[in-house]
């Protein structure tokens, strides 16, 4: 968005760019561009990033209409002129389709989850994966990247060991059958609620409560801390408790990984790179401490460390250099 | 320059959500920012990504990219209040609820495509139908209609511009020209204020 460019007469408007981009896409649609045309296109694209975007979009629109071929040679556009104002019924049917799909997926998940858990086996995720397991009694566990849980369900007690990583627990209420999560020496006991537990490499454990309340304590402790909705506790490796309050938005962001999203707001680049190392083997390497100390912002896809590195480089004015196993961030 | 595969990906996974993105952006207080600019910058980033095969949720990804574009622009413009910036930063991308622009399946999508083609002006529509439905090359279309190849190309360009608007504004009414002019003026004025400060 080049709004402040006093030496230019006036910034090119988005719709002007759109027109030119459509013309270029029409030219490309003709077949291969000639050498001169190709050079002219590249020159045009290079002058403003918005042009590349508009051109990519025009090509996409053209590709979108490729499936018009399926209308067949008998197609007459006139038949469709009257058909325009009729989206509502189609919309309803579509919703129905989506709902059906979701229900089907849920029932498949339930079948898989139940089978796995009643056998007492471990559930694991590989780096970069998340997995949701629905339990027969109505609870659900969502595992984040590179994690492992070992459930032990008994008649009077539901127990899950978080052996490694991070998981979100949506526990169905059952007074007679408490739900207990063990994360190393930390024990979290619940009746019916939703909360996440993360084990850090240094031995610390973090518990965030999204709904209801939970009790967090060291294994065998008589007086556990009671944690309410919106609270997060960090238990240090030495067993110190630090409770903080999270806003609703921050709470939601903290479990963004469920949707494949990672929140890097206010983090340094170095920490963001470490966070990404949880999700992917593609490494983000930062040699210069001054670059590592730069602050990043925004929410990104957990599965795209390289995309993040590129976006960060773009916004911080540094460069992202591809390496054999990832990307290196450095000053220009 | 976007590859063939990337173009297909944009057409299938991103374009269907653009209308919803525009609606979402239009509810934000984007002082001095043009939604079309944000959309173009977002496409530029998506076109420039090294690979996209691992993006599990392209819709969310599109929204996040657009959000980062807005944030970058807000920071640079320096006329925006701090609260506008934090508002935007804490903004949650709408998730999981397929909006009215969500991808329709099979026959419905085909009907939608047919309806869009029907809205084109007559000559433009004839060219586009021969090119896309009958799958003739631009040269063959020129022969069939007994017009020059450059005229066919012009009609194609016009069709792509009109169809892009039709798809992404929900297929109702493209923004009238006078309105677009007003927006343009508003944008230049705001940037003027920015310079004075």
In terms of CA atoms, which chain A residue is nearest residue B46?
A53
- Report ipTM for this prediction: 0.77
Same domain, B22 and B41: yes
Above 90 in pLDDT, residue A93?
no
More confident residue, B108 or A143: A143
Domain C-terminal end among B101, B117, B134: B101
B87-95 contacts at long range (C-beta below 8 A, 24 or more positions apart):
B87/B29, B88/B28, B89/A265, B89/A297, B89/A298, B90/A249, B91/B28, B91/B67, B92/A249, B92/A252, B92/A253, B93/A261, B93/A299, B93/B60, B93/B63, B93/B64, B93/B67, B94/B20, B94/B24, B94/B63, B95/A259, B95/B60
More confident residue, B53 or B173: B53
Question: Under an 8 A CB cutoff, do A22 and B160 touch?
Answer: yes
Domain C-terminal end among B101, B125, B155: B101
pLDDT band at B82 (very low <50, low <70, confident <90, very high): low
Residues 62-121 of A with CB under 8 A from B: 62-73, 75, 77-81, 83-84, 87, 90-91, 93-95, 97-98
* pLDDT digits 0-9 by tens, A221-256: 767 888 888 899 999 988 888 999 988 878 887 888
pLDDT mean over A2-6? 42
Q: What is the pTM of this model?
A: 0.47
Q: Which domains are seen in chain A, by residue range?
A: 1-65 (no CATH), 103-251 (2.60.120.1440), 260-330 (3.55.50.30)
Residue B182 belongs to a domain: no
Distance from CA of B137 to the nearest CA of A (A): 7
Question: Under an 8 A CB cutoff, do B67 and A95 touch?
Answer: no
Question: Under an 8 A CB cutoff, do A26 and B54 touch?
Answer: no
Domain C-terminal end among B101, B125, B157: B101
What CATH number is attached to the domain comprising B133? 1.10.10.10
Q: Residue B92 belongs to what domain range?
A: 4-101
Distance CA B10, CA A214 (A): 45
More confident residue, A100 or A317: A317
Query: What value does the mean pLDDT of chain A take?
Result: 79
Above 90 in pLDDT, residue B160?
yes
Candidates B43, B123, B136, partner chain A, best to mutate (most A CBs within 10 A) = B43
* pLDDT digits 0-9 by tens, A258-296: 777 787 877 899 999 998 888 888 889 999 999 999 988
* Torsion angle, alpha carbons of B49, B53, B54, B56, to 10: 110
Above 90 in pLDDT, residue B153?
yes
Question: Under an 8 A CB cutoff, do A80 and B110 touch?
Answer: no
Above 50 in pLDDT, residue A76?
yes
Contacts of A72 in chain B (CB under 8 A): 133
Above 70 in pLDDT, residue A325?
yes
Same domain, B72 and B145: no
Contacts of B180 in chain A (CB under 8 A): 15
**Per-residue pLDDT at A247:** 84
Distance CA B31, CA B40 (A): 18
Contacts of B36 in chain A (CB under 8 A): 13-15, 18
**Per-residue pLDDT at A41:** 93
Phi-psi label, residue B69: left if phi above 0, alpha if psi -120 to 50, beta otherwise: alpha
Same domain, B20 and B67: yes
Question: Under an 8 A CB cutoff, do A57 and B113 touch?
Answer: no
Distance CA A288, CA A200 (A): 25
* pLDDT digits 0-9 by tens, B58-80: 888 899 899 888 888 777 665 55
Same domain, B18 and B90: yes
In terms of CA atoms, which chain B residue is nearest residue A91?
B100
Residue A291 sits at φ, ψ, to 5 deg, of: -70, -40
**Per-residue pLDDT at A66:** 87
Same domain, B148 and B120: yes
């Amino acid at each position: 968005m080049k709004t402040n460019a006093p030496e230019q007469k006036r910034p090119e408007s988005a719709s002007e760019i759109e027109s030119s981009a459509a013309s270029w896409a029409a030219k490309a649609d003709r077949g291969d561009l000639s050498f001169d045309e190709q050079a002219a296109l590249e020159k045009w694209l290079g002058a403003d990033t918005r042009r590349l975007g508009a051109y990519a979009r025009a090509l996409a629109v053209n590709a979108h209409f490729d499936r018009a071929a399926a209308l067949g040679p008998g197609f007459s556009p006139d038949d469709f002129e009257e058909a325009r104002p009729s989206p509502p019924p189609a919309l309803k049917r579509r919703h129905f389709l989506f709902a059906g799909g979701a229900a089907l997926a849920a029932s498949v998940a339930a079948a898989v989850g139940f089978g796995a858990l009643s056998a007492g086996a471990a559930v694991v995720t590989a780096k970069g994966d998340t997995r949701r397991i629905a339990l027969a009694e109505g609870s659900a566990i969502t595992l984040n990247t590179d994690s492992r849980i070992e459930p032990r369900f008994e008649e009077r007690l539901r127990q899950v060991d978080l052996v490694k990583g991070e998981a979100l627990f949506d526990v169905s209420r059952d007074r007679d059958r408490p739900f207990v999560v063990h994360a190393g020496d930390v024990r979290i006991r619940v009746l019916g609620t939703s909360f996440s537990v993360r084990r850090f490499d240094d031995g610390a454990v973090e518990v965030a409560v999204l709904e209801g309340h939970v009790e967090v304590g060291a294994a065998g402790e008589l007086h556990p801390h009671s944690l309410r909705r919106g609270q997060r506790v960090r238990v240090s490796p030495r067993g110190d408790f630090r409770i903080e309050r999270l806003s609703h938005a921050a709470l939601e962001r903290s479990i963004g990984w469920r949707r494949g999203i990672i929140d890097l707001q206010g983090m340094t680049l170095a920490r963001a790179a470490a966070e990404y190392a949880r999700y992917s083997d593609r490494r983000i390497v930062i040699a210069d401490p001054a670059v590592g100390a730069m602050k990043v912002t925004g929410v990104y896809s957990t599965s795209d460390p390289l995309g993040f590195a590129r976006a960060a480089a773009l916004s911080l004015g540094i460069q992202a250099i591809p390496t054999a196993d990832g990307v290196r961030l450095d000053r220009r | 320059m976007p590859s063939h595969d990337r173009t297909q990906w944009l057409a299938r996974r991103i374009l269907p959500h653009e209308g919803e993105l525009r609606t979402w952006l239009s509810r934000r207080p984007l002082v001095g920012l043009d939604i079309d600019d944000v959309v173009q910058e977002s496409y530029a980033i998506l076109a420039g990504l090294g690979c996209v095969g691992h993006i599990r949720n392209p819709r969310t990804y599109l929204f996040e990219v657009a959000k980062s574009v807005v944030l970058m622009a807000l920071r640079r413009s320096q006329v925006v209040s701090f609260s506008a910036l934090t508002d935007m930063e804490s903004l949650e991308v709408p998730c999981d609820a397929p909006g009215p622009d969500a991808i329709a399946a099979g026959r419905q999508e085909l009907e939608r495509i047919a309806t869009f083609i029907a809205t084109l002006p007559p000559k433009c529509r004839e060219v586009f139908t021969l090119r896309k439905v009958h799958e003739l090359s631009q040269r063959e279309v020129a022969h069939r209609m007994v017009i020059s190849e450059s005229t066919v190309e012009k009609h194609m360009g016009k069709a792509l511009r009109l169809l892009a608007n039709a798809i992404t504004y929900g297929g109702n009414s493209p923004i009238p020209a006078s309105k677009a002019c007003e927006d343009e003026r508003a944008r230049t004025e705001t940037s003027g204020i920015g310079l004075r400060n």
